[in-house]
C-alpha cells in the first residue's frame, strides 16, 4: 500500500485527523492510483469518491456522516460524498471549494435534493458527486461558474423526467456552524437542513420538449427561492 507519508496528508494531520483516518484515506488513495488517478490533485479525489459504494436505502435510514465516519463506512450517500470530498480538499489549500445543493420534484410529487462539492481548477468549475441517477455524477472542471454547473445538473434532472426547483451554493464552514463535519461520530442530519437554507435561486418551469425530443434548457430565476422542508 502507498505510504501515507508520500501523500499530501500533512494538512489533514494538522487539522486533527488521526492515524486511522489517514490509513483509511491512504488505502482509498492507493486504489485510485491503481486506477490511474493518484491523490496528487483534485482528480485523485474523484477516484476516491467513485470507489465508494452508494447507499441506496437512504429513504428508510437517513444518516449524514462526517468525513471521519465516511472514511470508516462501507457506503455513502450524496451528501456524505460531498462532505468527504470537501474535507479531502484540505490537502490542497490553494483549491477553492464550495458546496452546491440542488432540489427537485418527481412527477409523483416526491421532493428531495442532491449535494455536490465544487472545486476550481484553471479558472473553471468542476464537481465531485455521488448518485445512483444517470447524469448526476462528477463534472469535469469545464464550467464557467456555479450557475453553469447547476444548470448541467438541472438539465440531467429534466432528462430523467424530474423537475429542478432550487439551488444554492455555500461553504461547509458557513453552513455547518457548530456541527463538526470533519470528526463527529454522530448523525449530522441537521447539516442537511442547514445546507437547504442556502437555496437562493429558483429554476423557472421548463417549456415543453422540442419536436426533436430535446429537453429545454432550465432558466434560473434570481429571486430568492422558497425554502422546502425535505431532506437532501
DSSP string, 160-208: TT-EEEEEEEE-HHHHHTTS-TTT--S--HHHHHHHHTT--EEEEPPPP
Average pLDDT over residues 136-162: 97
Rounded to the nearest integer, the mean pLDDT of the chain is 87
Does the residue 6 lie in any domain? no
Average pLDDT of 207-221? 51
CA angle 139, 144, 150 (to 5 degrees): 55
Residue 40 lies inside a defined structural domain of this protein: no
User: Domain range spanning residue 162?
Assistant: 53-221
Residues 158 and 192 sit within 8 Å (Cβ to Cβ) = no
Is residue 188 one of the residues assigned to a domain? yes
Q: What is the pLDDT of residue 208?
A: 43
Position 57 in a domain = yes
56: left (phi over 0), alpha (psi -120 to 50) or beta: alpha
pLDDT at 207: 46
Let me know if residue 18 belongs to a domain: no
Average pLDDT over residues 150-171: 96
- Give domain status of residue 199, yes or no: yes
> Which residues are 101's β-sheet partners?
115, 168
For the ranges 25-29, 59-63, 107-111, 178-182, the lowest mean pLDDT is seen at 59-63
Residue 227 counted as domain residue: no
Q: Tell whether the model's pLDDT for residue 228 goes beyond 60.
A: no
The pTM assigned to this predicted structure is: 0.87
What's the structural domain count of the chain? 1
pLDDT band at 219 (very low <50, low <70, confident <90, very high): low
* Residues 204/184, Cβ–Cβ less than 8 Å: no
Fill in the DSSP letter of residue 121: E
User: What mean pLDDT do residues 148-167 have?
Assistant: 96
CA distance 122 to 212: 35
Asked if the structure places residue 3 within a domain, the reply is no
pLDDT at 230: 37
DSSP 228: P
Amino acid at each position: 500500500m502507498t505510504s501515507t507519508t508520500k501523500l499530501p496528508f500533512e494538512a489533514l494531520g494538522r487539522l486533527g485527523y488521526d492515524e486511522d483516518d489517514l490509513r483509511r484515506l491512504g488505502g482509498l488513495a492507493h486504489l485510485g492510483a491503481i486506477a490511474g488517478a493518484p491523490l496528487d490533485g483534485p482528480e485523485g479525489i474523484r477516484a476516491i469518491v467513485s470507489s465508494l459504494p452508494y447507499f441506496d436505502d437512504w429513504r428508510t435510514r437517513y444518516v449524514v456522516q462526517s468525513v471521519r465516519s465516511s472514511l470508516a463506512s462501507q457506503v455513502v450517500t450524496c451528501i456524505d460524498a460531498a462532505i468527504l470530498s470537501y474535507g479531502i480538499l484540505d490537502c490542497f489549500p490553494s483549491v477553492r471549494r464550495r458546496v452546491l445543493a440542488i432540489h427537485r420534484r418527481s412527477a409523483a410529487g416526491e421532493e428531495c435534493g442532491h449535494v455536490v462539492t465544487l472545486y476550481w481548477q484553471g479558472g473553471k468549475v468542476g464537481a465531485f458527486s455521488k448518485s445512483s441517477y444517470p447524469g448526476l455524477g462528477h463534472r469535469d472542471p469545464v464550467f464557467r461558474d456555479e450557475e453553469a454547473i447547476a444548470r448541467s445538473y438541472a438539465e440531467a434532472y429534466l432528462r430523467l423526467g424530474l423537475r429542478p426547483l432550487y439551488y444554492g451554493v455555500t461553504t461547509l464552514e458557513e453552513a455547518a456552524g457548530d456541527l463538526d463535519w470533519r470528526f463527529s461520530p454522530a448523525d449530522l442530519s441537521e447539516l442537511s437542513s442547514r445546507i437547504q437554507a442556502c437555496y437562493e435561486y429558483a429554476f423557472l418551469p421548463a417549456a415543453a420538449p422540442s419536436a426533436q425530443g430535446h429537453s429545454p434548457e432550465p432558466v434560473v430565476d434570481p429571486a430568492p427561492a422558497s425554502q422546502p422542508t425535505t431532506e437532501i
